[in-house]
Amino acid sequence: GLRGRILSFVPEDLRLDEELCLAAVKQDVLAMHFVPEVLRCSVNFAVLAVVQNPAVMKYHAGAAVVDRSFVLEAVSRRGDALAFSPLELRADPEIALAAIKQTSSALRHVSERLWQDHNFVLEAASCCG
């Protein structure tokens, strides 16, 4: 919505306000286009932004900030962020289980490969059971 794009009207120096940027991103993922690079490159900001709006993960795909530890932290706080995580990390059992523990809706975003792993299926069942 327009609320998220409000950042496009805000002077550059005021866009450095993390709280303002997080509020805009919560309303509309497209606000990420107007978040200053210094914030977008911050792991702390990125995790907080994903918690506000999991679709933010796609703005970080391929970026140095999206490594295994970042995705694990993000899905531990907002399990549905798994949907926007890199495919290879959706096949990571620890990441998938962290997402499932946070929300059972993450089940549908787990790599098909993991569903062939008996131990993973048992652990997933115990998380959701």
For the stretch 76-126, pLDDT in tens is 999 999 999 988 999 999 999 999 999 999 999 999 999 999 999 999 998
What's the DSSP call for residue 61? T
Per-residue pLDDT at 75: 94
Per-residue pLDDT at 60: 66
Residue scoring higher pLDDT (100 or 3): 100
Distances (CA, A) of 100 to 76, 87, 88: 9, 16, 17
Can you tell me the distance from the alpha carbon of 79 to that of 32, in angstroms, rounded to the nearest whole number? 20
pLDDT one-digit tens code per residue, 11-27 = 999 999 999 999 999 98
Can you tell me the distance from the alpha carbon of 128 to that of 50, in angstroms, rounded to the nearest whole number? 23
pTM: 0.79
- Which pLDDT band holds residue 58 (cuts at 50, 70, 90)? confident
Cβ count near 79 (within 10 Å): 22
